[in-house]
Amino acid sequence: MIIIIKKGTPAEEITRISQELQENWQIKPEVVVGRHHTIIGAIGDTATIDPSIFQEISPWIERVLRVEKPFKRASREYYHGQASEVIVSTPNGEVSFGEHHPVVVIAGPCAVENEEMIVRTAKRVKAAGAKFLRGGAYKPRTSPYAFQGHGESALEMLWQARQATGLGIVTEVMDTVDIEPVAEVADILQIGARNMQNFNLLKKVGLQSKPVLLKRGMAATMNDWLMAAEYILASGNPNVILCERGIRTFDCQYTRNTLDLAAIPVLRSLTHLPIAIDPSHGTGVAAFVPTMAKASLVAGADALVIEVHPNPAQALSDGPQSLTPEQFDDLSREMALLNQVINDRVQPVPALI
């Protein structure tokens, strides 16, 4: 249940309402301060409680809403029907993800291969406007014989790239035992598609404070995905960014996955969380990445995840879907132009006045 508090309600009254919920109803209150209103999330067994009873707790209560969806904290209602933001500290300053902020680009190779390549790639993607460097130290590979990532030593290389460029780092954590070392280097922890329903991992990343990029499982419904986000939120970490990366459909002849761009408007209506799109894993083909990156921008994505490798033909993983730095430069230029159009869309065009 969501209790919407009237504007100007004294802080002591919010505390009193919260206490009453806890003591008389055994409900865990969660106060969320939004742009326009403050709400109290009433988490617990509220199914049989009539919302009008809560309404009577205080004259400062504007409205009481029942959240019918299985995901509560992730629901749009939980954030006053607005979009929330995830603010990430990087050495270059704070970067905000969300509907009310510029699109954030996360770029870099699939895997960290050596220090020279990761630092060189970091410099190139930074120059093209990326705010985060991505690169896997721990790689989830279909084959046990394929390159599994350099592990801990790759974390050290990511740290060097972070020092050299000031870019934030996004890297995947696959195992609960690696959360601590990964979080020492990463500014955002990635949960990969294959681990989207690894509930122990979700609970544990929810217990630490670094933001989480939660990729959509390749056969996950919207509800599965949002319930996975709910695990992280319920464990206490409010900073979750959702990332669509393509799903499995019947047609995988020409693309690796089917990039579900309809996820953007669907998620917008269901959740307040920021939305990222990964056209690299979404298509699996470098030649298709720029088109789908631009389409994502126009469809309203808050962030893009793009694989860039200095020499895709020699890449140890995901070479066929990786852009060269030059291709990424071109795409960045095109996206900058497109972004102006998108940002200007609500302003009158002088020639038409």
Q: Give the residues lining the site for Mn ion (CB under 5 A).
A: 110, 318
Shortest Å distance, C-beta 350 to ligand PEP: 43
Whether 190 and 303 have beta carbons less than 8 Å apart is answered as: no
Stretch that binds ligand PEP, among 41-49, 156-164, 191-199, 323-331 (CB under 6 A): 191-199
Q: Is 272 in the site for ligand PEP (CB under 6 A)?
A: no
Residues across the chain: 353
CA angle, residues 113, 115, 119, in degrees to nearest 5? 105
Q: Apex CA 76: angle with CA 72 and CA 78, to 5°?
A: 50
Nearer to Mn ion, 168 or 246 (CB): 246
CA dist., res. 240 & res. 144, Å (int)? 30
Based on the shown chain and the rule CB under 6 A, indicate whether residue 245 belongs to the binding site for ligand PEP: yes
Q: Are 330 and 337 in contact (CB under 8 A)?
A: no
Question: Could you say which DSSP state residue 216 is in?
Answer: P
Which entry of ligand PEP, Mn ion, none binds 174, CB below 5 to 8 A by partner kind? none
- Looking at the Cβ atoms of 74 and 304, the one nearer to Mn ion is 304
Q: Nearest distance from residue 344's CB to ligand PEP, in Å?
A: 32
Single residue of 105, 110, 234, 331 touching ligand PEP by CB under 6 A: 110
Q: Which helix (H) or strand (E) holds 299?
A: helix 289-299
The interface mask with ligand PEP, positions 27-66, x = CB under 6 A, is ----------------------------------------
Torsion angle, alpha carbons of 304, 143, 206, 308, to 10: -20
Binding mask 246-265 for ligand PEP (x = CB under 6 A): --------------------
The answer to whether the CB of 328 falls within 8 A of the CB of 129 is no
**Residue closest to ligand PEP when measured from CB atoms:** 192
Q: Which stretch binds ligand PEP (CB under 6 A): 5-13, 17-25, 190-198, 259-267?
A: 190-198
Please measure the distance between the N-terminal and C-terminal CA atoms of the chain and give it in whole angstroms.
48
In terms of CB distance, is 83 or 110 closer to Mn ion?
A: 110
Residue 253, classified by CB atoms within 10 Å of its CB into exposed (0-12), middle (13-18) or buried (19+), is exposed
**Choice from 17, 157, 193, 241 touching ligand PEP (CB under 6 A):** 193
Give the 3-state secondary structure of 97-129.
ECCCCCCEEEEECCECCCHHHHHHHHHHHHHCC
Is the Cβ of residue 152 or residue 344 nearer to ligand PEP in the bound state? 152
| 131 near ligand PEP, rule: CB under 6 A | no
- In the complex, least distance from residue 175 CB atom to ligand PEP, rounded to whole angstroms: 14
Please name the residues in contact with 84: beta carbons below 8 A apart, sequence gap of 6 or more: 34, 98, 238, 272, 273, 274
Please identify which residue in 140, 175, 249, 341 interacts with ligand PEP, judged by CB under 6 A: 140
Q: What is the sign of the dihedral through the CA atoms of 278, 309, 201 and 185?
A: negative
Task: Count the site residues for ligand PEP by CB under 6 A.
Answer: 9
Segment interacting with ligand PEP, rule: CB under 6 A, options 11-19, 188-196, 202-210, 328-336: 188-196
Q: Is residue 192 a contact residue for ligand PEP (CB under 6 A)?
A: yes
Nearer to Mn ion, 133 or 226 (CB): 133
Residues in contact with ligand PEP by the rule CB under 6 A: 110, 136, 140, 192-194, 215, 245, 281
